Amino acid sequence: MKSENYISLVFPSRSVNESFARMCVACFAAQLDPNLDELGDIKTAVSEAVTNAIVHAYPDSIGKITLKAKINQNGELHITVRDTGKGINDVVKAMQPMYTTGGSDRSGMGFTIMESFMDKIRVRSKPGKGTSVDMWKRIVPRSGGAAM
């Protein structure tokens, strides 16, 4: 399906970019007229995916993160966060609640939050090559809502 509108962003895996990344997607998603909860959920999901790339994909170096957001014709937001870092050996295991390879500053709830805040999530990863997280969320037009 042809996408209606999109943005693409490349930035280094510096933690200062976490808030920048989620604000960017939130601003882009604003054209779908989401309510405050939906906007918060989108920001949180982006924050989780980007933080994972910063913390886990490039633990001891600075690498490249690519963030894409698209609005499909049916008013669905599609977000992709991609890194070329260390990758995940067992994606199913990594996505389980409370599973973490991090320390006490991680809760192991990142994927669980992405799953619960977005309609759909797909994680593809190759050890040594990197990880790509795709997330979709349809924003239901509000009754009497703003015209696009």
Partner 1 sequence: MESTYELHEGALWIRLKGELDHHGAKTLISKLSSQIDSALPLRCILDFSGISFMDSSGLAVILYTHRRMRELGGSIRIIHLPDQAARVVNASGIDRLIMQDERSGSDEE
Ligand X SMILES: Nc1ncnc2c1ncn2[C@@H]1O[C@H](COP(=O)(O)OP(=O)(O)OP(=O)(O)O)[C@@H](O)[C@H]1O
- Sites of contact with ligand X (CB under 6 A): 48, 52-53, 56-57, 83, 85-88, 94, 99-102, 106-111, 131
How far is 90 from 144, CA to CA, in rounded Å?
46
Q: Degrees (nearest 5) of the Cα angle 103, 104, 107?
A: 95
Q: How far is the CB of 7 from ligand X (least distance, A)?
A: 20
Give the residue, chosen from 116, 128, 129, 141, that forms a contact with partner 1 under the rule CB under 8 A: 116
Binding mask 71-100 for partner 1 (x = CB under 8 A): --------------------------x---
Q: How far is the CB of 45 from ligand X (least distance, A)?
A: 11
67 vs 94, beta carbon nearer ligand X: 94
Is 48 tagged catalytic?
A: yes
Segment interacting with partner 1 (CB under 8 A) among 85-93, 113-121, 127-135, 136-144? 113-121
45 vs 69, beta carbon nearer Mg ion: 45
Is 35 tagged catalytic?
A: no
Q: Is 29 left (phi over 0), alpha (psi -120 to 50) or beta?
A: alpha
Q: How far is CA 123 from the centre of its chain?
A: 10
| Contact assessment for residue 128 and residue 89, using Cβ atoms and an 8 Å cutoff | no
C-alpha dihedral (83, 44, 9, 54), degrees to nearest 10: -30
